[in-house]
Amino acid sequence: MADPTLDQLRRYAIARTLFKPTTLQRAIERLGFVQADPIRAPARAQDLTLRHRVKDYRAGDLERRYARLDIEEDCLVNYGFLPRAHLALMHPRGERRPWDAALQRKAQDVLDFVKARGPVHPRQVELHFAHGTTTNYWGGSSNASTHLLDGLHYRGLLRVVRRDSGTRVYEAVTHPPAQDSDADRARRAAALIDLVVRKYAPLPAASLTYLVRLLSYGAPHLQLQLQAALRQARGQALASCRIDGTTWYWPADENPRSRRHVADDSVRLLAPFDPLVWDRRRFALLWGWTYKFEAYTPAPQRQFGHYALPLLWHEHVIGWANVTSVGGQLQPHFGYADVPPSSPAFNAARDDELQRMAAFLSAR
């Protein structure tokens, strides 16, 4: 069988992730993982990702319905939402940064408090313990109680039971005893690699290596097994081809050359962390230009804007838009990688997408 062309990989990448809209639970199961981000510009990244894949989705639906769904907040390659069944692949996970004895005692006190109280808001923990502040990952100051809660959550001792106005509310949780033999660790590592490949395929070789490194962050106790599983997957579970010096990988049971991979005529504004555009290396290879997420870049240095949403039309990401909502009215500002389309068909499709965005942002 002939290798796929880059055009076929591009169509394949679009079609396999922009599936027909379904229920919220099924969409998350099919995606495998939805990355979360707290910035609302004009909505959180998880909502912007799900609106293309869930019927009649409105901003905030995931937070409103979370407690009734068979999903969890946790860390996979990043922090986000994933089917509860995937937790068994990662927990019990080892410690990324072991606590010293003093922090261990404080963490145990917090865990005992949560077990006794039931679901707790971080503010309740802080009022009870008055832990003060600590230096966070980015070098700034953050609430020490929140830091301890985050650490207990990462270790699988707490779970997020719901959110109150965006703030995580925790409860104690005990995971079923895991089989932790060498064979079981190897099985879990192979399953995790299969999960991320099916989410982000087709993947350049360098991106696949990077994803496995991120998995080691989410499951540090499986680091050696993940490297072994990656070597095995490249030889057995994954298909590949080489185009212009780049090796590409995808699941062996999928066919990028299939004529079923046909893009529609819609314009879509994607989240910066949408699986279609998340991998910036793959983005540049598929669409021929470099997209950057600049929310944390000083304003004078931005090329694309504060929260640029990649703009997909037909089989190409052709530009981006920064969208704000003022008084219930959308104010989009578009930019293009090349000459902007001026056809009536594009203009109509862009207006349709803005109408869908307005409905998505409106109160349910």
Q: Where are the alpha helices (DSSP H) in 84-181?
A: 87-90, 101-117, 122-129, 144-154
Helix (H) or strand (E) holding 2: none
Any idea which residue has 């660790």 for tokens?
Answer: 185
Q: What percent of the chain has pLDDT over 90?
A: 78
* pLDDT value, residue 313: 96
Specify the CATH number for 101-172; select among 1.10.10.10, 2.60.120.380, 2.60.40.2890, 3.50.30.50: 1.10.10.10
Average pLDDT (111-122) is 95
Q: What is the DSSP string of 44-99?
A: -HHHHHHTTTBTT--TTHHHHHGGGSSEEEEESSSEEEEEGGGHHHH-SPPPSS--
* pLDDT value, residue 139: 41
Average pLDDT (263-283) is 94
Average pLDDT over the chain, rounded to an integer:
91
Backbone angles phi, psi at 176, to 5 degrees: -60, 145
Distance from the Cα of residue 151 to its chain's centroid: 20
**284 falls in which pLDDT band (50, 70, 90)?**
very high
In this predicted model, what pLDDT tens digit does every residue of 287-302 receive, in sequence order?
A: 999 999 999 999 999 9
User: Is the CB of residue 99 less than 8 Å from the CB of residue 151?
Assistant: yes
Average pLDDT (311-319) is 96
* pLDDT value, residue 141: 38
User: How far from 253 is each of 95, 225, 233, CA to CA, in Å?
Assistant: 35, 23, 13
**259 falls in which pLDDT band (50, 70, 90)?**
low
- Residue spans of the domains in the chain: they are 101-172, 267-361
In this predicted model, what pLDDT tens digit does every residue of 347-363 receive, in sequence order?
A: 999 999 999 999 999 97
In sequence order, the β-bridge partners of residue 141 are 135
3-state helix, strand, coil in the chain (%, to 5): 45, 20, 35
Average pLDDT (80-103) is 86
**1 falls in which pLDDT band (50, 70, 90)?**
low
Q: What is the pTM of this model?
A: 0.92
Q: Which of 307, 289, 305 is nearest to 42 (CA)?
A: 307
* pLDDT value, residue 138: 32
**305 falls in which pLDDT band (50, 70, 90)?**
very high
User: Is the CB of residue 82 less than 8 Å from the CB of residue 71?
Assistant: yes
Q: What percent of the chain has pLDDT over 70?
A: 94
Q: Which of 323, 254, 284, 271 is nearest to 18 (CA)?
A: 271
**261 falls in which pLDDT band (50, 70, 90)?**
low
User: Is the CB of residue 72 less than 8 Å from the CB of residue 80?
Assistant: no
In this predicted model, what pLDDT tens digit does every residue of 121-162 receive, in sequence order?
A: 999 999 898 765 555 433 443 478 888 999 999 999 999 999
In this predicted model, what pLDDT tens digit does every residue of 323-338 receive, in sequence order?
A: 998 877 899 999 999 9
